[in-house]
Structure 1
Amino acid sequence: MGIVSLTGRLICSSQSEADTVNQLLPAHVQLTTAEAGCLSFHVTPTEDPWIWNVAEEFTDPSAFEAHQVRVRDSAWGQGTAGIKREYRIDGLPSAAR
Structure 2
Amino acid sequence: MSTVELVGGLVCEHDEQVRIVRRHLPRYIELTRAEPGYLHFDVEQTVDPLVWTVSETFVSQAAFDAHHARVGAGDWGRATAGIKRDL
TM-score above 0.5: yes
Q: Which residue number in structure 1 is paired with residue 21 of structure 2?
A: 21
Q: Which residue number in structure 2 is paired with residue 57 of structure 1?
A: 57
Question: Aligned Cα RMSD in Å?
Answer: 0.6
Q: Which residue number in structure 2 is paired with residue 42 of structure 1?
A: 42
SS of 1:77 mapped into structure 2: helix
Q: Which residue number in structure 2 is paired with residue 95 of structure 1?
A: none
Q: Distance in 2 between matches of 1:35 and 1:19?
A: 25
Question: TM-score normalised to the size of structure 2?
Answer: 0.98
> Please, which runs of 5 or more residues in structure 2 have no aligned partner?
none
SS of 1:41 mapped into structure 2: strand
SS of 2:29 mapped into structure 1: helix
Q: Give how far 1:79 is off.
A: 0.3
Question: TM-score normalised to the size of structure 1?
Answer: 0.88
Which letter maps to 1:83? I
Which letter maps to 1:66? A
Which letter maps to 1:27? R
Identity, % of aligned positions = 44
> Please, which runs of 5 or more residues in structure 1 have no aligned partner?
88-97
Q: Which residue number in structure 2 is paired with residue 6 of structure 1?
A: 6
Q: Distance in 1 between matches of 2:19 and 2:72?
A: 20
Q: Distance in 1 between matches of 2:76 and 2:17?
A: 12
Q: Give how far 1:73 is off.
A: 1.1
Alignment deviations for residues 38-96 of structure 1 (CA, whole Å, 9 cap, x no partner): 10000011011111001000000000000011001111000001100111xxxxxxxxx
